[in-house]
Structure 1
Amino acid sequence: MKCPICKKEVKLGDPEMPFCSERCRLIDLGMWSSEEYRIPGPVADPGAGQTEEADDE
């Protein structure tokens, strides 16, 4: 298996699996926290959560 960040070879028993090192693991975590990775889903309708009462105000 290859590290998803640097593409180095990683063995199944390595402690940082699936990453080759703590550095690559932290880079991946940073990419998730800065929203560089996204899980696709349906586009939300911005007005879908409003009720009629909210519209009258």
Structure 2
Amino acid sequence: MPKYQIPKSPGEFEIVESKSGTPLIWNRKNGKGKVSIPCRNWSHAEEVLEKLNDLKKGGELWV
């Protein structure tokens, strides 16, 4: 399982479609605060999005 480091103020997350057609969770930022998490399918992306919304002030997320 990959581990992702989430910054203290990541902003709003959303599920977008990547160029390959798979879902991607992204916070629409570039540079240091960018978070981009690829997912297997749409249901997996929704589960990961719920976990991200539960994190209050950053931390680590195991997907």
Q: TM-score, normalised by structure 1?
A: 0.36
- Larger strand percent: 2
- Larger helix percent: 1
Q: TM-score, normalised by structure 2?
A: 0.33
Structure with larger RCO (C-alpha < 8 A, sep 6+): 2
